[in-house]
Amino acid sequence: MRKIATGNKAVAEAVKQARPDVVAAYPITPQSEIVETIAEYVANGQLESRYIPVESEHSSMAACIGASIAGGRTFTATSSHGLAYMHEMTNWAAGARLPGVMVNVNRALAPGWNIWAEHSDAMQERDTGWLQVYVSTVQEAYDTTLMAFRIAEHNNVLLPVMVNLDGFSLSHIMQPLDTVEPGDFIPPIHVPDPVDPKNPGGYGTITAPADQFRFRYEIERSMHDAVKVIEETEHEFAERFGRMYGAVEEYRADDADVVVVALGTFGKEAEVAVDILRNEGVKAGSVRLRWFRPFPELDLAGKEVVVIDRAISFGFGGVLAHAIRSKNFMKVYSVIAGLGGQEVTYDDIAEFVRNRRVGEESWFGVNDHV
Amino acid sequence: MEIIADIPETEYVLNCTSACAGCGDSLALRYVLKAAGPDTILVMPAGCTAAFQGVYPKTAYTLPVVNIAFGAAAACASGLSAFLRAKGKATKVVVYAGDGATLDIGLSAVSGAFERRTDFLYVCYDNEAYGNTGMQRSSATPLGAKTTTTPAGKPEVKKDIDTIIAAHEPPYQATACASYPQDLFRKVQKALTFEGPTFVHVLSPCPPGWRYSAEKTVEVGKLAVKSGMWVLYERENGVLSISAPTKAAMKNPVPLEEYLVLQGRFKGIDTKTVEHLRERIAGNFRRLAAEEASP
């Protein structure tokens, strides 16, 4: 069904169709529209979930853990400080192998108070054991949220999934949205060994080093297994509903001499920049990473690479740039741009490419070479 | 010898846990679980009870336990209870949490869960300090008590969590102590008959933390009640009933010094602080009597 929706509304629509047993959430700008819409669905009977209006994000994740450990499907949404406040429990959810889904609307952390898009919030959750995916359109936000439930709950994964969308520049913009009837694309949830008085056991008890080490290894192994599950899920989604994304979305990258690598809406803007550059005779392309954890294999051999980071690891540089450098044993031109919602247009991205200095880093608008 | 006839013989805490000798918390847990019965899921934040349940893959408890982060038990129980009720299950959800998890780090989650009318029982076992990490002060530590972070005695009074809970208007709340096992057992059983959030606050004497000899746990608990340092009551739909041992203490309290002198944590306490404690006991008795007289 064709409609017009914001990124937030698209997420809420997908959650309604995925039918979680429990939604526990706390509002925060720019995410609030998601949980308000879900609360409305629950109130008007369109969604038969238990909606728990918790008193904090730490508690929203704890409540999702409580429901999930008994076998329930759970959803929450947050952003920025909410995600940071939740951090202790995001570790717990992944460590306990609970397949919840969360949508994080990317936003900067204070100080200063800044409600606009930045990826630092999610990057600070990078190592918790959550799968992470970054989307770039309203349609993709919807499709990916649906897929997230299936991927998280897959028996070879059993890890939580975080769907990231840029604050305001995706959460609040309106685009066409084609909704589907997911049907058995999302099968009933089956959590192995849910907590049950008929089969009592300790969940998360004190664990000695050898077992703890093994559990960590199993998370890593499931991250590897998730690559295939993601691929299969995306293929089946494409077969059923006609839209294909992949772990990475490439645009005119095959014969490109230089590619822009980015996450989220910048990755989509880069496609326009690529067209501009191609018209100028520059053989440019774009490689937009959707899945950031597990980190995809990228074929960048023989290409110059411009990486745009909307997050900074202070004292080290761009997080994505570092990942590309270390995974592909290559130098990149690292551009830090868009922090705190700084506007970055496709013209700006084209300019990054024109002025690239592979092996160097620049901060857009501060010490860039433009 | 007192025969405790109506308490089931079934044990849900197995023998030989790694709890300290004379652990008051362990004793309380035994009676709480006997009262809760087999169709129960426990939610335990970090604390002594979580620690002495044993090391994976073993467990000393024969009921399922969801272990959870220090400040998260009430919220975790909210999600668990919501899911079970949505599935039409009557399985009891019982949080068993220490004073640190309840009065301090988890207080906002406790308040949230009570305000949202979570269908669960929250038991706070109160050993008046962070026992599991080596007896640092908590907001439940009484005035004048030495802990590892109040080596000169705590200069502040004990936080009144029961009044905070009462402000949430739960259908049932009670205080207890395992030195009075039938009273504790009955209160937990009663709490579990109500729909919605209920609260039982159990004083748990702690031999290494309070610095008394391990065989005196029951005696120390009784002296806490007899001196008025701990009061036993229940409040059902807002109506207070003072329990018999505290009624007796209100008529004829044992001297406070008898309670204090048994415990190393009060060693060297000055007379001014003792007087302050005595005034607080008297004030507490007056408030309880007034509330019971005119509900």
Q: How many CB atoms lie within 10 A of CB A135?
A: 29
CB of A238 less than 8 A from some CB of B: no
Domain membership of residue B14 (yes or no) is: no
Where would I find the H helices in A44-137? 57-69, 80-95, 120-123
Report the pLDDT value the prediction gives residue B221, as an integer from 0 to 100. Answer: 98
Domain membership of residue B242 (yes or no) is: yes
Q: How many domains does chain B have?
A: 1
**Structural domains in chain A, sorted by start:** 2-241 (3.40.50.970), 248-363 (3.40.50.920)
Q: What is the pLDDT of residues A91-134, one digit of tens each?
A: 999 999 999 999 999 999 999 999 999 999 999 999 999 999 99
Domain that residue B180 falls in: 24-293
Cis peptide before A188 (omega within 30 of 0): no
Mean pLDDT across the stretch A41-65?
98
Give yes or no for a contact between A150 and A233, defined as CB atoms under 8 angstroms apart: yes
CA-to-CA distance for A129 and A126, rounded, in angstroms? 8
Where would I find the H helices in chain A? 7-18, 32-43, 57-69, 80-95, 120-123, 138-153, 209-241, 264-279, 319-328, 346-354
Report the pLDDT value the prediction gives residue A1, as an integer from 0 to 100. Answer: 85
Report the pLDDT value the prediction gives residue B3, as an integer from 0 to 100. Answer: 54
Question: Chain B residue with minimal CA distance to A88?
Answer: B69
CA-to-CA distance for B142 and B160, rounded, in angstroms? 10
Using alpha carbons only, give the angle B97, B102, B108 rounded to the nearest 5 degrees: 135
Interface size between A and B, measured as CB pairs under 8 A: 157
Chain A CB contacts of B57 under 8 Å are: 211
pLDDT tens digit at each of 295 positions of chain B: 455 668 999 999 999 999 999 999 999 999 999 999 999 999 999 999 999 999 999 999 999 999 999 999 999 999 999 999 999 999 999 999 999 999 999 999 999 999 999 999 999 999 999 999 999 999 999 999 999 999 999 999 999 999 999 999 999 999 999 999 999 999 999 999 999 999 999 999 999 999 999 999 999 999 999 999 999 999 999 999 999 999 999 999 999 999 999 999 999 999 999 999 999 999 999 999 999 998 7
Domain membership of residue B112 (yes or no) is: yes
Band (A370; pLDDT cuts 50, 70, 90): very low
Domain membership of residue B19 (yes or no) is: no
CB contact under 8 A, B81 and A66: yes
CB of B85 less than 8 A from some CB of A: yes
Report the pLDDT value the prediction gives residue A51, as an integer from 0 to 100. Answer: 98
Q: What is the pLDDT of residues A320-331, one digit of tens each?
A: 999 999 999 999
State yes or no: ipTM above 0.95: yes
CB of B164 less than 8 A from some CB of A: no
Domain membership of residue B102 (yes or no) is: yes
Q: To the nearest whole angstrom, how far is the Cα of A228 from the nearest Cα of chain B?
A: 31
Buried b (16+ CB within 10 A) or exposed e, A307-342: bbbbbbeeeebbbbbbbbbeebebebbbbbbbbbbb
Q: What is the pLDDT of residues A174-229, one digit of tens each?
A: 999 999 999 999 999 999 999 999 999 999 999 999 999 999 999 999 999 999 99
CA-to-CA distance for B189 and B74, rounded, in angstroms? 20
CA distances from A58 to A113, A154, A229, B46, B294 (A): 20, 26, 29, 16, 40
CB-count burial class (<10 Å; 0-12, 13-18, 19+) for B236: middle
CA distances from A224 to A92, A291, B82, B176, B262 (A): 20, 12, 33, 52, 60
Chain B CB contacts of A55 under 8 Å are: 108-109, 111-112, 115
Domain membership of residue B4 (yes or no) is: no
Of A62, A199, A208, the CB nearest to B79: A62
Q: Considering the entire predicted model, what is its pTM?
A: 0.97
CA-to-CA distance for A275 and B194, rounded, in angstroms? 67
Residue A89 has pLDDT above 80, yes or no: yes
Domain membership of residue B13 (yes or no) is: no
Domain membership of residue B275 (yes or no) is: yes
B28: domain CATH number?
Answer: 3.40.50.970
- Which structure tokens are listed for B94? 């019982």
